[in-house]
Amino acid sequence: MPLTLNEMRDNCQKARTRMQQARQEHWAFGAFNLDDQATLKAVAQAAAEKQAPVLVEVSQGEVDDIGLDNVRDLVDNVKREFGVEMYVNLDHSPSVEAAKKGIEAGFEFIHIDVSQANHDASDQEIIAATSEVVEYARLTGALVESEPHYFGGSSNLHTETIDYEAIKQTFSTPEGAAAFITATGIDTFAAAIGNLHGKYPVPKQLDLELLQRIRDAIDCNISLHGGSGTPGHFFESAVKIGVTKVNINSDMRVAYRQTLDKVLADNPDEYSVSKLINKHVIPAVQAIVESKLDTFNSVGRAV
């Protein structure tokens, strides 16, 4: 059932308040990608077990597969069933029009990322699009997130090593972050400090000194994309510095796929795949989510 405008505004205001509390109390929301209903159930069960607030998020691919309104309904149903604190983020929305649809669907968090669709988008184009979404988000009070440049990698299991010299060229700077926030009015800045989309053969390394300088230079929320494959101590330090949202996708997808491959091979005569998913895959994904919530210092923070 669609939310009323007042319900959307109440949810968004609560989300804003909770993000402020996260920064003050030094914990972060885990933002976990929603590929299907099984993934959503795994996140909900982890949130219930850990009594932790969470975000579930969909990018354009999931939106095309599931539908914005269906995502909203699925999440609301799960919130009621499991009694969890859960919000929805539209992740890497590739256009102003797509972001507006997420706002109208009642998503509490909107990430506008025109550089995802156009890696060569100019600074002016990115600022103009982001500013338009910020203005439109006043309809519901949704929190808007963005960054001033393309963020590399992909949400997959990579075989190549990480070329840190190359990605350092795209690191955020304190001055650039401050200028972008001033120009756009965003609520959350997606920082690039060594985080990279995807899971790689070697652990990721975050530049925490740079993160501290960015935190000192800006007064809005900070998120970290590409959290998969990152040693937990980096998250523990980042949360202390003031990060309030960490995106996790590939770690969950790898656990899902590898577990499913194994149980299908072990059960060649079972044709009810949903039974295998419920019995084996969901617990495997849930374990990943729970381990992240531990490092985000969000356990026991749900209201």
Task: Please give the Cα distance from 187 to 103 (Å, whole number).
Answer: 14
Q: Which of 35, 76, 91, 113 is catalytic?
A: 91
For 172, other C-beta atoms within 10 Å of its C-beta total: 25
- For residues 109, 115, 121, 124, the Cα torsion angle rounded to the nearest 10 degrees is 20
| Residues 197 and 154 sit within 8 Å (Cβ to Cβ) | yes
Q: Is 91 a catalytic residue?
A: yes
109-112 and 245-248 as β-strands: parallel, antiparallel, unpaired? unpaired
Q: Which amino acid is at 43?
A: V
Helices 37-50, 250-266: crossing angle, 10 deg rounding: 110
Task: Please give the Cα distance from 90 to 24 (Å, whole number).
Answer: 25
Contacts of 214 by beta carbon, 8 Å cutoff, 6+ apart: 172, 173, 174, 177, 189, 191, 193, 222
| Residues 102 and 124 sit within 8 Å (Cβ to Cβ) | no
Structure tokens at 72: 């909203």
| Residues 224 and 31 sit within 8 Å (Cβ to Cβ) | no
| Residues 196 and 155 sit within 8 Å (Cβ to Cβ) | no
Q: What residues are labeled active site?
A: 91
